Structure 1
């Protein structure tokens, strides 16, 4: 149930804290696990130690109370997932660590981590930029961050949207996106936005003389070349290529309206670096779940 030996071992991981957001995240994570044919690890992360200055006996009492409460909480969450989703391969565990660090350690072996966009894993009520923000920024596996309401869209067939930026790492992001589309029986919409605001500002009055149609044609070639390998490798998935003259965040927000999932890549830039503008923009504004896929190097 608890201890430092907890391993995600290819499972889908979700942190719970007793909040409605984490309950929703656990149910969503169960769906991800079922589609992937893997198990679900439900964890609650507790602080390593009691508050500074506590008396030794009080400290032991507090730790015992914390442990019992955490065990009941995570077990109840796991039981709830089994009952509401029918998934049987569900493991409950208490992890003694700081919330972000505990979930980041599990991400080393996990298939993915699911988090409520406003934070789970032991710290309720936090806005993006704390637990959820740190996870999408530093996790070593894909992280799916959920909006407040992640109900399945009604109406059109299911779709997965993926952003393709034309730089190294698109293959990793596309591989995750096409796998999610296949598992969901969804179409995949690969989006590349080619608007270059600094360039447009630089050319100024000379803008009408620029061959923008040539720029767009180059963007279409780029997208087709990037999508080619996953198209050939996943003939059962219908893939649409969409090139938009817009900023990446705005284009992805537009196309993903009503989608089941939006997939973007994130390049790790060091412990203190911030999220890229596109990832940060869609995380705060998209209405659908967002998968952030780490790009090595």
Structure 2
């Protein structure tokens, strides 16, 4: 077999392992564990890691419930702080791990935004942290909704 045959374009197309992993992050302990797990997986698989932070306003903060806007401003400030913390962590840790990491910040419903980003980047896997909210155990968590979507392997990190 000549050199040209060994370096054919087909060998570049055939790639073992994922090309992109999406991880949902919100600053919680379980989402940061999920990010650490996803980073390790991305490093071992030599693939791109896309961290998704979704800014959302709880239903109780709709304009009718908060006429002064102070509660909404507080939520926005909290989101700004989490986003900056995530950006700092990525800038500090990704070079040492030799990772291709991107932070995508969206506003909306986490399930919808995670699915949208995963489709855009053609994710091979989605990783999220386990919900700690009691209501999610009854009504269904983000992880359960992602699993039910059945589009990617979903890993839930405790």
TM band (smaller chain): 0.5 to 0.7
Matched, 1:288 2:152: yes
Inter-CA distance 174–285: structure 2 relative to 1 (3 Å threshold): same
**Partner of 2:87 in structure 1?**
224
Structure 1 residue 237: deviation in Å?
1.0
Among candidates 239, 252, 258, match of residue 114 of structure 2:
252
Structure 1 runs, 4 residues or longer, greater than 6 Å off: none
Please give the root-mean-square deviation of Cα atoms over the aligned residues, in Å: 3.4
Inter-CA distance 214–267: structure 2 relative to 1 (3 Å threshold): closer
Matched, 1:182 2:46: no
Q: Report the structure number with the largest CA radius of gyration.
A: 1
Q: Distance in 2 between matches of 1:252 and 1:245?
A: 11
1:132-147 equivalences in 2 (<5 Å): none
SS of the aligned residue for 1:169 comes to helix
Cα displacement string for residues 93-146 of structure 1 (whole angstroms, at most 9, x for unaligned residues): xxxxxxxxxxxxxxxxxxxxxxxxxxxxxxxxxxxxxxxxxxxxxxxxxxxxxx
Q: Distance in 2 between matches of 1:170 and 1:252?
A: 13
Structure 1 residue 187: deviation in Å?
0.9
Inter-CA distance 275–185: structure 2 relative to 1 (3 Å threshold): farther
Normalised by the length of structure 1, the TM-score is 0.39
Any stretches of 5+ residues in structure 2 without a counterpart? Answer: 1-17
Which structure has more helix as a fraction of its residues? 2
Any stretches of 5+ residues in structure 1 without a counterpart? Answer: 1-156
Among candidates 169, 172, 178, match of residue 33 of structure 2:
172
Q: Distance in 2 between matches of 1:228 and 1:174?
A: 14
Q: Distance in 2 between matches of 1:267 and 1:259?
A: 22
Q: Choose between structure 1 and 2 for higher RCO, CA contacts under 8 A separated by at least 6 residues.
A: 2
Q: Distance in 1 between matches of 2:89 and 2:139?
A: 23
Inter-CA distance 251–222: structure 2 relative to 1 (3 Å threshold): farther
